[in-house]
Amino acid sequence: MFQLFGFGGARCPRCEHRNGAAAGYCAQCGLSLGAPGSDAVLHANQWRLSEEQLALFFGVRELSSLFGGAARRLQVPAESRAWIVQSDAFTLIPAGEYDSTAFFARLPALLPARPAEVLIARADALSLEFDLPDLASTELLGVAASLRIDIALGQPDAFARQFMRAPGAVTRAHLHALLLPSVRQIALEFIGSRALRDMDANADLRPELNERLQSALTQRLAPSGLAVARVETISLRHDKRAGGDAGDACIGTLWLGGLPAQELEQHSLERMKQLDQLYDEEEWQRIRREEMAARHAHRRAELRQDATLEKAELGHQEAERLQALRGRQIDLYGRILEAKSRRQALDHGAALALGELEQELAQKGAHRADEAANWEHVRALAAIKMRSELELSQLNGREQIQLAQQRFTHQVHLQSIAQQIESALLIDDEAGRRAQLARLRQAEMEAAQREAQLEAEQHKAAWQGLMLANAARKREAERVQEWEEQMQLARQRELLRAEAHKDEAAQVQAAEIAEKLAALRRGGAREDAIAQQEKLLRTIEADGVHARQLQQQSQLAQLDALAIEEQRQQLRQLEQEAQWQRDLLAMAQQRESDYARWKGEYESLLAQQAHAAELARIDIDRAEKIGSLSDTGKLAMAAGPNAAALAQVLKVQLQAGMSAEQIHALAALAAAENSIAPLEAMRMAQDSVAQERGYLEGQFDRDRRQQLDLINLQNAAHAHGLSAQAQLGVAVAQALQPQPGGGSAPLRCKNGHAQRAGHPEDKFCAACGAALQP
C-alpha cells in the first residue's frame, strides 16, 4: 500500500533500535520506520488516538510482530475503528482485547507471517471550526461566518489510496488546511448570491447554509474516503463599521438567522440593532449605487475579456465573485418565474432583474396590449436566461469541483512530503540523512513545478470558461430569436382563428334571417315582405358561399404554410439545441479528459518517485550486502568491468601483508608453475634487465649524437650567413667608390648583384653563386 515506505537509518519509534540505511522495517521489532510516535499505540498496544488525530497508519514486516512476546495483548477500544490491510484487502478488527492466539483464531483471513498495514481511525467524528471574516453579500456588505464541521472516516479503501502513501497520521491541522479553501468557496457563493435584507428576513438561513455545505463537501470529499458527519453554522453576522473598512470601529451588529446562544452574554442588547436602524434610506440608496457600479464593472470586465480572449486571466477571487453573481441572477430569475404577476415579483425582491428584462423587451419592440400577455413574455424571457445561467453554473460548478479535488490531492501530497522530511531529520547517519533529504527536496521541487502546472491549468480553464460563456450568450440569443418566431407564428394562427370566427358569425346571421323568414311565413305576412326577406337571404347565402370558398382556400393555404413553417422552425430549433448540447458535451468531455490526464500524470509522478526511491534503496542494500561479504563473495557479486580491478586490488592488499619468506615462496611457486628453476629465472631476469639497460644506453647515445649534429649544422649555417653579409658589404662599398674609367656601370649577374671590380676571372657571383656571362 505504502509507496514511500520507511526511512533507512532512522531509529525505530517503538524500540529505539538503529537500522541500516536501506531498511524499511525495524530489524528488531518489525515496525515500519517513519511511523508517527504514539505511546498508547506503539508501546502500550492500545489502539486509542489522541484528541487531535482522525487516523493513524503504519506497517509491520510480519503481522505477528504486533504482539511481540506471547504474553503481550492487543486492545482495540470502542471509540476506535481499526483495519488490517494485506494484499489490498481490508479486514475490520472488532473492538475488544486480544492475545496472539485469539486474534488469529477470530480473524482467519489474516496471515501472521505476511507484511501488513494498520489503519486506526476514530469511531466518532473530528470537529473542525472555521472562521470566515471576509465574506460579502450581493451588495458588497461584509458578512462574517463561524462554522463547525464534523469530519469522519468514510470508505477506508479510498482513504488509503489518498492518504496512506507513507506511514503517518491525519490530524486536525491537516484537515483544516485541506478543507479551508473549499469551505470558503462554498460559503462565498452562498452568501454572495443573496442580499442582506433577504438573509435577514430568512429564518432558515443557517439550515440552508448547513445543507449546502454538507452536500457540496460530501461530493468533494467522497473520492478521498472522508465523510461529513455534521455541519453547524454557529453564527452569521454583519458588522457596520464607522468608516467602512475592516479596521474601523464597529457601530452595530446584525445577526443573520438569529443570535447564537453563546453570544447572548457577550453582547449587550444595545449593540443588537435591526437592519433598518443600522442603515437609513440614504445609506441604502448609496449601497444600491455601489452594487450597480460593481455589477457594471464586472460586466465591463467580462466584455473586455470577451474582446481579448487570449489575454483573459481571471483571478481566483474574481471567479468566485462572478460565480456568486451568477447564482444571484439564477435566484432572481426563479422568483420571476414563480410570481404570477409583476407586483408579486416586485414584492419578492426581483425588481432589478425584472427591470432588465422589461428594458430588453422594450428594445426589441415586444409590446402587448394587455398586461397579462406582457407578463407572460417577461416570464418566458426570464426562463430562457435562467436556463442559460443554469447551464453555465453547472459546468463551472463541475470545473470548480475538479479544481478543488486537484488542489486537495496536491495539498495531501505536500503534507506527506513534509511528514517524510520530519522523519528523515531523525536519521542518525549523516550520509543517509543527506541522501534522504536530497531526494525529498527533489520531490518538493517537482511538487512546486506541479503546482505551477495547476495554476496554468486553472488559467486555461478560465479561458475555456470565457469561451463557454460566449457560446452560452450566443445560444441564449438564438433561443430568444426562436421564441420570437414562435410568437409570430402564434399571432398568425390567432389571425386565422379570427377569420374563422368571422365566418361563423356570418353563418349565424344567415341562420337568424332564415329563422325570421320562417316566422313571417308562419305569421301570414305579406308576400312582398317575404319576398324581400328571401332575396336578402339568397344574397347573404351567395355572398357567404363565395366568401367561405375564398376564405377556406386562403385559410388552407395559410394553414399549410404555417404548418410547414412551424415544422421547419421545430426542426431548426431541435438541430440548434442538439448542436448546443453536443458542444456542451464536448466541452465537458474535454475537461474530463484534461482531469483524467492530470490524474494520470500525477499518479505517474508518484510512481516514478516511488520507483526511484525503491531503486536507491536496492542499490544501498546491495552495497551494504557486498560490503559485508568475504573477498570471494565481493569478487562474485561485483559487476563485470569492476571484477578485474577488484581482483587486482585484493591481490595487492594480500601481497602487502606478506613477509619476505612468503614472497620468496610465492616466487618459487610461480616459477614451478612455469617449469623454470630459480637460478634460471634469476638469470633470465638479469638478462632482461641488461637488455633493457643496453637499449636505454643506445637510445641515449642516439639522442646525444642527433643533438650534436643539429648544433654543428646550426653553426655552419650561421658562419655562411656571416660570410655572405661581409661580401655584400664589400660589394656595396666598392660600388659607392668613383670608377676611374668615367661613368661606366659595373657588370651584374642575372640576379642583379654587382661583380667585383678588378676580378675579371670570376666565373660565379660572390653574392648568390650564379654563373656570370663572359
Report pLDDT digits (tens) over 578-589: 787 787 777 777
How confident is the model over 338-364, as a mean pLDDT?
65
What value does the mean pLDDT take over residues 310-316? 43
β-partners of residue 146 are 131, 235
**Same-domain check for residues 3 and 119:** yes
Q: Does the pLDDT value for residue 121 go beyond 50? A: yes
Query: Which pLDDT belongs to residue 268?
Result: 41
Using CB atoms within 10 A of its CB, is residue 57 exposed (0-12), middle (13-18) or buried (19+)?
A: buried
Domain annotation covers residue 11? yes
Per-residue pLDDT band for 751 (boundaries 50, 70, 90) equals confident
76 part of a folded domain: yes
pLDDT band at 231 (very low <50, low <70, confident <90, very high): very high
Claim to verify: residue 83 and residue 8 sit in the same structural domain:
yes
Q: What pLDDT shows up at residue 267?
A: 47
* Residue 188 falls inside a structural domain: yes
Q: What is the pLDDT of residue 299?
A: 61
SS3 127: strand
Query: What residues contact residue 411 under an 8 Å CB cut-off, 6+ apart?
Result: 177, 178
Asked if pLDDT for residue 606 goes beyond 50, the answer is yes
The reply to whether 98 and 142 lie within a common domain is no
Structure confidence at residue 674 as a pLDDT band (50, 70, 90): low
Position 676 confidence tier, pLDDT thresholds 50, 70, 90: low
Q: What mean pLDDT is predicted for residues 416-443?
A: 72
- At 587 the pLDDT is 76
Residue 366 placed within a domain:
no
CATH of residue 217's domain is: 3.30.479.30
User: Does the pLDDT of residue 77 top 80, yes or no?
Assistant: yes
Assess whether 233 and 176 both reside in one domain.
yes
Spatial CB neighbours of 143, under 8 Å, sequence gap ≥ 6: 135, 136, 137, 191, 196, 199, 236, 237, 238, 256
Q: Say if residue 176 is in the same domain as residue 85.
A: no
Residues 734-753 have a mean pLDDT of 62
Residue 452 falls inside a structural domain: no
> Which has more pLDDT, 533 or 477?
477
Structure-model confidence comparison of residues 328 and 208, the more confident one: 208
pLDDT at position 563, please? 73
Among the three residues 268, 291, 313, which one is the final residue of a domain in this structure? Answer: 268
In this structure, of 44-48, 146-150, 603-607, the range with the lowest mean pLDDT score is 603-607
Domain count for the chain: 3
The answer, yes or no, to whether residue 149 has pLDDT greater than 90, is yes
Band (420; pLDDT cuts 50, 70, 90): confident
Tens of pLDDT, residues 198-207 = 888 888 888 9
Locate all alpha helices (DSSP H) within 339-429, ordered by sequence: 342-347, 351-364, 371-424
214 and 86 within one domain: no
Picking from 3, 23, 22, 110, the residue whose alpha carbon sits closest to that of residue 66 is: 110
* Lowest-pLDDT choice from 160-169, 598-607, 630-639: 630-639
Other Cβ atoms closer than 10 A to 501: 9
Helix (H, G, I), strand (E, B) or coil at 227: strand
In a domain, 288, yes or no: no
Percent of the chain with pLDDT over 70: 64
Which range has the worst mean pLDDT, 294-308, 665-679, 691-705? 294-308
Closest CA to 239 of 252, 226, 221: 252
Q: Are 753 and 762 in contact (CB under 8 A)?
A: no
pLDDT, mean over the chain: 74
Q: Residue 287's pLDDT is what?
A: 74
Mean pLDDT of 262-286: 58
Question: Which residue has 496554468 as its cell numbers?
Answer: 456
Do the Cβ atoms of 35 and 42 come closer than 8 Å?
yes
Work out the percent of the chain whose per-residue pLDDT is above 90.
Answer: 5
pLDDT at 261 over 50: no
Q: Answer yes or no: do 256 and 187 share one domain.
A: yes
Please list the residues that pair with 135 across neighbouring strands.
143
Query: Which of 235, 251, 268 is a domain's end point?
Result: 268
147-156, 179-188, 504-513: range with lowest mean pLDDT:
504-513
pLDDT over threshold 50, residue 367? no
- Contact criterion met (CB below 8 Å) for 118 and 169: no
pLDDT of residue 128: 93
Same domain, 264 and 131: yes
Cell of 159: 482513504
Are 220 and 100 part of one and the same domain?
Answer: no
Looking at residues 174-190, what average pLDDT do you find?
88
Q: Quickly state the pLDDT bin for 6 (edges 50, 70, 90).
A: very low
Decide: 77 and 122 in contact? Cβ < 8 Å. Answer: no
Same domain, 261 and 135: yes
Residue 393 inside a domain? The answer is: no
State which residues form the domain around 764: 695-733+747-774
Q: Are residues 18 and 51 in the same domain?
A: yes
Q: Is 255 contained in some domain?
A: yes
Most confident of 63-67, 346-350, 399-403, 497-501: 63-67
Same domain, 235 and 193: yes
pLDDT at 741: 46
Q: Is the pLDDT of residue 512 over 60?
A: yes
Q: Give the pLDDT score at 684.
A: 74
Q: Which of 268, 298, 323 is the last residue of a domain?
A: 268
Residue 269, pLDDT > 50, answer: no
User: If you average pLDDT over residues 714-738, what whole number do you get?
Assistant: 70
